[in-house]
């Protein structure tokens, strides 16, 4: 791909004149003028108006500028990626997309173990919640997902779930909340509280579960960031229903995690296309994630360990 015309065009835009662009590019002034005329012929549009030595972008020129900047940036990225890939045929690449709490709690330990065992391996980790992560798998941007599902969910056609753990949800409250010293509560006991929602899938699950218990939660804000959720809860902005993994082994001053009687559970799994389920890197990843989960629960207080079952 020859990007010379776009590079000359942007040089003129950024410097404000043909002569200044020529100096920046180390071209002659006639060469720059010819390149601009050539680009105008390609696009069949006038890109600049010229009056008394000054040039101004036309509407067509302003439109081109916005696309030219992003096009050149994308092309440079492509060139870098291709150059890095040269002589890399012996490497094994794995694209992994995972939701934030799993990325924080499980992925670092698992990936570190895999990299130590195979120097050919290269892992790209993406942060994505379902359903957005499903698009990454379908498009090939990710080879494997760490995702979660509820009992009523069904695995997509042509996909395989490899279970990592099964976890309870907990209710996060500020340490001065009326329920803070209870240990475990029924969700409806927090019906009058304000709430902090999670990712779209978690937020919908919260609404569904609360309605089943006879109330609609008043959600003041939503975030899929586990740490931000804990801070907002500690400041008394609202309570939050979150999976145990999000707080396992952590202590946030001013926040208390409570068990939920007859609460919700979900399964955390590796999700891959059926054709990839026996790929060695996928099998190794699944094993490493289960090992990381066991290590994490072992180091956590007993009351937290009881809320997670490693598959």
- Give tens-digit pLDDT for 140-189: 889 999 999 988 888 888 899 999 999 999 999 999 999 999 989 999 99
Q: What pLDDT sits at residue 1?
A: 59
DSSP assignment of 52-83: TTEEEE-HHHHHHHHHHHHHHHHHHHHHHHHH
Output the six-digit token pair for 12: 């003129």
pLDDT of res. 248: 79
Beta strand pairing status for 255-260 and 159-174? antiparallel
Give pLDDT, residue 262: 87
Q: Which residues of the chain are under the pLDDT cut of 50? A: none
The structural domains of the chain, ordered by start, are 1-85 (1.10.10.10), 90-163+267-304 (3.40.190.10), 164-263 (3.40.190.10)
């Amino acid at each position: 791909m020859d990007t010379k015309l776009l590079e000359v065009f942007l040089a003129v835009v950024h410097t404000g004149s043909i002569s200044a662009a020529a100096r920046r590019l180390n071209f002659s002034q006639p060469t720059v003028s010819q390149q601009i005329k050539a680009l105008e012929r390609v696009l069949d549009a006038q890109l600049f108006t010229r009056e008394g030595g000054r040039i101004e972008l036309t509407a067509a020129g302003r439109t081109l500028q916005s696309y030219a900047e992003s096009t050149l940036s994308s092309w440079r990225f492509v060139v870098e990626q291709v150059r890095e890939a040269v002589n890399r045929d012996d490497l094994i690449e794995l694209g992994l997309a995972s939701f934030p709490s799993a990325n924080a709690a499980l992925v670092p330990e698992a990936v570190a173990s895999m990299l130590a065992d195979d120097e050919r391996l290269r892992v790209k980790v993406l942060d994505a919640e379902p359903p957005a992560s499903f698009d990454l798998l379908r498009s090939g941007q990710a080879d494997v997902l760490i995702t979660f599902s509820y009992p009523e969910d069904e695995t997509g056609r042509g996909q395989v779930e490899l279970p990592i753990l099964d976890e309870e949800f907990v209710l996060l409250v500020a340490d001065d909340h009326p329920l803070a010293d209870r240990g475990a509560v029924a969700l409806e006991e927090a019906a009058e509280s304000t709430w902090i929602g999670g990712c779209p899938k978690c937020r919908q699950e919260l609404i569904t579960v609360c309605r089943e218990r006879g109330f609609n939660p008043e959600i003041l804000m939503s975030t899929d960031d586990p740490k931000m959720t804990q801070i907002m809860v500690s400041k008394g902005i609202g309570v939050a229903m979150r999976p145990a993994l999000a707080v396992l082994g952590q202590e946030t001053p001013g926040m208390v995690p409570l068990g939920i009687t007859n609460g919700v559970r979900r399964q955390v799994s590796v999700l891959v296309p059926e054709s990839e389920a026996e790929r060695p890197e996928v099998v190794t990843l699944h094993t490493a994630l289960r090992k990381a989960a066991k290590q994490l629960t072992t180091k956590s207080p007993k009351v937290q360990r009881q809320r997670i079952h490693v598959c």
